[in-house]
Amino acid sequence: MSSWPRLALILGGARSGKSRRAEQLAVASGLPVVFVATCLTRNLDAAMQERLRQHRERRPAAWPTVENRLDLHNVARAWPACLLLVDCLTLWVAARLEDTPSDAAILNELAGFLDAVEAGGHALIVSNEVGQTPVPADALTRRFVDLAGQANQQVAARAAHVEWTVAGIPMTLKGEPR
């Protein structure tokens, strides 16, 4: 559909239904969809492997899936005519924390991805809302929560459409209801 925004953000807590909602929106967009899985598949416990299996089975088989790629700006450039369903931003932030010493560098990398999308693509980004959690006691978790919150704010500021999903119910925070 021609009215689909260049950039949309779906926020929610763990198991809130945000991924399922994003999948519904991706189908409704009428655009070809590429699923971008940001969870690195190395060293996963059994519960996370099961969660990923459920996500894979739920997605339409026709959607190409990009896994184990953290260079989102290059993914956007490789699939310019598609809707990139990025699930999820917080896993991407966590992965980037492993090998990027500077928070500013991570946020700059995210900005490069958003620039690439706005230059001619479409992205639907799923992310965990971390701002309602208690302040973590350890430094690494505080860094993650702070950085994930900044990343969510950066995307939300540039997105034409932002939703908050609670118990499977989407609420539009910005843009037109979909």
Q: CA-to-CA distance for 34 and 36, rounded, in angstroms?
A: 6
Catalytic residue flag (residue 73): no
Q: CA-to-CA distance for 151 and 129, rounded, in angstroms?
A: 10
Q: What is the chain's percent helix, strand, coil content, to nearest 5?
A: 45, 20, 35
Which of the residues 55, 73, 122, 161 is marked catalytic? 55
C-alpha distances out from residue 57 to 54, 64, 108, Å: 5, 13, 33
Known catalytic residues are 55
